[in-house]
Structure 1
Amino acid sequence: MNAYADLQFAYFNYGENQNRANGAQKDSRLVFDTTRLVLELEAGLPEYGIEAEFEVEFEHGGTGVSMELEYEEFGEFDTEVEKGGEALVEELYLTKKLGHQLELSVGRFYVAVGTLFADYRPTDYLGTIRSEAETRLIPNTWNDMGMQLRWDSPWGVRLTGQVVNGLDSTAFNSNQWVARGLQKRFELVRASDLAAVLRADVKRFPGFVFGVSAYYGGTTRNRPKPDLLKQCDDANPNVVAPCGYVSAPLFVTDAHLSVDRGGWRAHAMVMYGHLGNAAAVSARNARLSNLLNVLRTPVSDNALSAWGELGYNIAPALGLDGNHRLEPYVRIDYMDSQFKPREELFDNPRFERTVYTVGTSYTLAGLAVIKLDFAQRRMGSSAFRPENTLRMSTGFVY
């Protein structure tokens, strides 16, 4: 059995409402959060080459229903089942080894896009939180159901191919692009639109891992209702979609790098995404019911993000043994959830954000970690007030 946990303590000098003309108001507030507790169980039958893995995540202290203010919806109160605490099965799959270098998995697993596919534990990254540039645009530790084939080549390259269910486009919006499209609001996962994922990671150089990934899949037929349909004159009333669905394919690609060598640690990633027929998705989402609890702001055709962090272990210079890592670090996150939108959609500088972070991470024996950092977020225009955050986090991995 393995587990990891993360607790957050944060001070903000700005108000929660970031949807104002000049940005958030000045404020002084503290927020504490039991961010996550994740339990992992593994079992297997080595003689048959079969392994099973199960991972459940408890977010924000448990499960329940909470009320939150949604400033993207004019300051309305929304009831959020997932925000009041959540128990979520993130991984549940069986793996069959097909020789020494090839394996096939079936079930729920992490989608092989971005850096959080592999580096999601609090000891894997230097910052107090996961990269905002990544979690702002795509689901945080994106997991879906399907089939995965992984091959470790003799040349130090790992290839991962996946076929999974696609996202639900009703939750796409201006602020977080497709990040809320993960299907978890209903009992059953809709898979009428599937997605294909390809990833290549080069691991042949000690301390270095770099690679690329690509995701392509539909989003229209996974909506809760068949409400994004083509219109035609001879429609058959006895068929759900007599003229077919409006296509809204999602394409996401990234290049990523991880370094852990000679006292240095670093992560970097560049990600680009494109949503086809984003105007049609936006027009239909604007008319969704309030009961669906989604933001009904228009979604952009394109999104872009990039981030990097760099730290160096100074523990040896302070006379500490190998059980200690003390790493001052810097991080930059850039994200634009309305990157080069269609002509009729206003390119709002509010959604272009750069976060500059400096901090220190201390890890004991690779198990316990405590971090402290200061971050300043700047919008795409000087008309918006910068937002400062002082954050401390602590957690463990075993």
Structure 2
Amino acid sequence: MAPAPEEPSSPAPSAEEPAQPPPSPAAKEPAPVTAAPAPAALSRARPKIDTFVTAYGELLFGYHNYGLNQNRTGGAQRDSRLEFDTTRFVLEMKGALPDYGLEVEVEVEFEHGGTGTAMELEYEEFGEFDQELDKGGEILVEELYISKKLGDHAALAVGRFYVAVGTLSEFSRPTDYLGTIRDEAETGIIPNTWDEMGLRLRYKFPWGLRLTGQLVNGLDSTGFSSQLWAVGGHQRRFEVQRATDMALVFRADVTHFDGFIFGVSAYHGDTTRNRPKADLVKSCEEANDREVAPCGYVSAPLTLLDVHLSVAKGPWSAKGMVMYGHLKNAELVSQRNARLSNLLGVMRTPVSDNALAAWGELGYDIASVVGLSNSHHLFPFVRYDYVDTQFKPREELYDNPRFRRTIYTVGVAYNLLNTVYAKLDFGHRRMGSNAFRPENTLRLATGFNY
């Protein structure tokens, strides 16, 4: 039998490497490794975040019996045309930290199917073709704010949010109104779903009163025009919004009565120093050319006042609003706007001192009458829009009746669980004089809301 192999002997330690003492019995097992304590910020448990995602989308199909050029003598020509539009897709996301009273909200809107460059034919600018990036479609961040609860009844927000005037700041989703489009009265004098940046403070009284105060950037008066009054003042043409002129907003809504909301709102803010160039300034002798406006600016504040109502009681649905607007020094604004560059993409038409808008709709749910379950809603409705963007103007400005419009609409709106909807309506538009040809539109809208 072969002898067992010898255990290899350990090499003798060199002079440079002294011999190690034999391990003690207690050192035979390696000591457990203890990790260094993690930083406090990393060791905390992730806070509970409540997240919500909602969205809605709209498709619109329209037939029009009039031409595009409404500025012709006698009104638009007779025509027969169809228009299809991917009106908008809106995605709204919320994240809340309930333990801290914090909430973040983001709302992104995709309009007209995407983005790109498109040509636009501006008949108010003597039939010129304009190339505008936003007309091929838009992606807009309409809301982006952080809100902090202050006790049980108040909340303070900072960021971008809807300006609290009119009805569309509260009722902008397609299931909030009965027509196929948002009301033409409100969107005829102020921006559609008007959003700005600033601070917002809300306070809700337990007995049914909600107050809203806002401090936001003001409008840009270069975009004001004859046909759309202050609509074009919304600052979207440049990357950065000017806020040298700020605006104050106040709104009060009575919510005490079940199914009824009624209230008032007011807006006031200057529009001069938010223009792209300091071109609306006062002149004086011995002006310091090192200052942008050594003698000061021409003041052109915009004031808006409105009364609004919303009813959702039993089978009845109704909404309404009356809004009045006033622009100080509108004549000086008009004179300067007439000399603006074509490249700015604004109308350059005279703007009136005053504007007036009123609208209302009334519908009755007949779903149960026709044998549908309570998951369905079917509203025959009527709607009335009136908008005058040259309401009682200064004597020097011709009160053009083409800018006084009345729209009568009848239709039916259907929705399933306020999620999927379809609407069909017929609108008849009349101008402020019988010299202008009436305009008829038949529209079909469909989409979803969740």
Aligned to 2:268: 216
In structure 2, how many angstroms separate the alpha carbons of the residues matched to 1:216 and 1:304?
Answer: 16
Counterpart position of 2:207: 155
CA drift of 1:81 comes to: 1.5
Larger mean CA deviation between 42-51 and 272-281 belongs to: 42-51
The aligned runs of 1:352-367 (5 Å cut-off) are 352-367=404-419
Residue-by-residue CA offset, 1:60-94 (whole Å, 9 max, x unaligned): 00111110110001111001211110000000000
Determine whether 1:54 maps to 2:114. Answer: no
**Partner residue of 1:118?**
170
C-alpha displacement of 1:262: 1.5
| 4+ residue runs over 6 A deviation | none
Q: Distance in 1 between matches of 2:57 and 2:256?
A: 31
Equivalents in 1 of 2:85, 2:174: separation in Å?
Answer: 15
1:394 shift after superposition: 0.6
Which residue type is aligned with residue 259 of structure 1? V
Q: Partners in 1 of 2:437 and 2:325 — Cα distance?
A: 28
User: How far apart, in 1, do the equivalents of 2:88 and 2:305 lie?
Assistant: 27
**1:308 shift after superposition:** 0.3
Higher RCO (CA < 8 A, seq sep 6+): 1
> Aligned partners of 2:360, 2:96: CA distance in 1, in Å?
37
- Once the two structures are TM-superposed, the CA of residue 154 in structure 1 deviates from its matched residue by 1.8
> How many angstroms apart in 1 are the aligned matches of 2:58 and 2:254?
29
Q: Which residue of 2 aligns with 1:296?
A: 348
Tell me the residue number matched to 2:224.
172
- Give the match for residue 368 of structure 2: 316
**Structure-1 separation of matches of 2:237 and 2:133:** 8
Looking at structure 2, the residues matched to 51 and 111 of structure 1 have their Cα atoms a distance apart, in angstroms, of: 19
Instruction: Give per-residue Cα distances to partners, 1:273-318, cap 9 Å, x unaligned.
Output: 0000000000000000000010010000000010000000000111
> What is the 5 A alignment of 1:318-333?
318-333=370-385
Letter in 2 for 1:295: M
Instruction: Specify the code of the residue in structure 2 equivalent to 1:54.
Output: V
C-alpha deviations, 1:21-54, integer Å up to 9, x for none?
1000000000000111000010021111100000
Classify the secondary structure of the residue corresponding to 1:187: coil
- 1:139 is matched with 191
The letter of the residue matching 1:56 is V
| TM-score w.r.t. length of structure 2 | 0.88
Write the mapping of 1:218-237 to structure 2, written as runs, cut at 5 A. Answer: 218-237=270-289
Q: Which runs of 5+ in 2 are unaligned?
A: 1-52
SS at match of 2:241: coil
Q: Which residue is 2:136 aligned to?
A: 84
Partner SS state of residue 298, structure 1 = coil
Please show how residues 236-255 of structure 1 align to structure 2 within 5 Å.
Answer: 236-255=288-307
Structure 1 distance, partners of 2:195, 2:447, is 22
Q: Name stretches of at least 5 consecutive residues in structure 1 with no aligned partner.
A: none
SS in 1 for 2:232: helix
Classify the secondary structure of the residue corresponding to 1:48: coil
Task: Name the structure where strand makes up a greater proportion of residues.
Answer: 1
Deviations 1:171-216 (A, max 9, x none): 0000000011110110101000000000000000001000000000
Identity, % of aligned positions:
68
Q: What is the number of equivalent residue pairs in this alignment?
A: 398
| Residue aligned with 1:317, SS | coil
Q: Deviations over 1:249-283 (max 9, x none)?
A: 00001000000002000000000000000000000
TM-score (norm 1): 1.00
Q: In structure 1, what is the Cα distance between the partners aligned to 2:315 and 2:321?
A: 21
